[in-house]
Amino acid sequence: MSGNSSKELEFARILERVRRVAREQGNCISQEQVREEFALLALGDQQLDMVFDYLKKHKISIGEQGDPDAFLTDEEKETVCRIAKEAGVDFVKTSTGFGTAGATVHDVALMRRVVGSTIGVKAAGGIRDLDSALALIQAGATRIGTSSGIQIVESYKELKKGL
């Protein structure tokens, strides 16, 4: 297989992953999410524009970058977690994956502290590797939401081999 065919195959895999993520988010994805997914291929602006056009043609909305000032403060996160706990939810979630911040150890620990041990905490957004997943689990996450699950599991298997 030539280098070009390999790159084309990887492009197709990434595009399918982008479409899957967009479907999971109500047929919407941010420009930042698309750029992150295709970063490995180092596409130029014109190529990325073609990707955005393709997604729009297939009825996938391209959302704009969120306003960082619109994110919740720690106090607001605590309030939401208390309300969720009182409502009897099974778990709370760090984010939808739309924003740029993604799941953080700080947020997971805050949520775990507020909801206690009987409610699950799902860390989602920006989790791309085993170290990140393990740090979030250590902080109190009981679920991990990621589009990099296969890579994370493969890394875990490699780690276990070395023990």
- Catalytic residue numbers read 49, 93, 122
| Residue 161 · residue 31 · CB < 8 Å | no
Q: Side chain identity at 154, as an amino acid letter?
A: E
Q: What angle do CA 78, 108, 15 make, to 5 degrees?
A: 120
- Tell me, what DSSP letter sits at residue 1? -
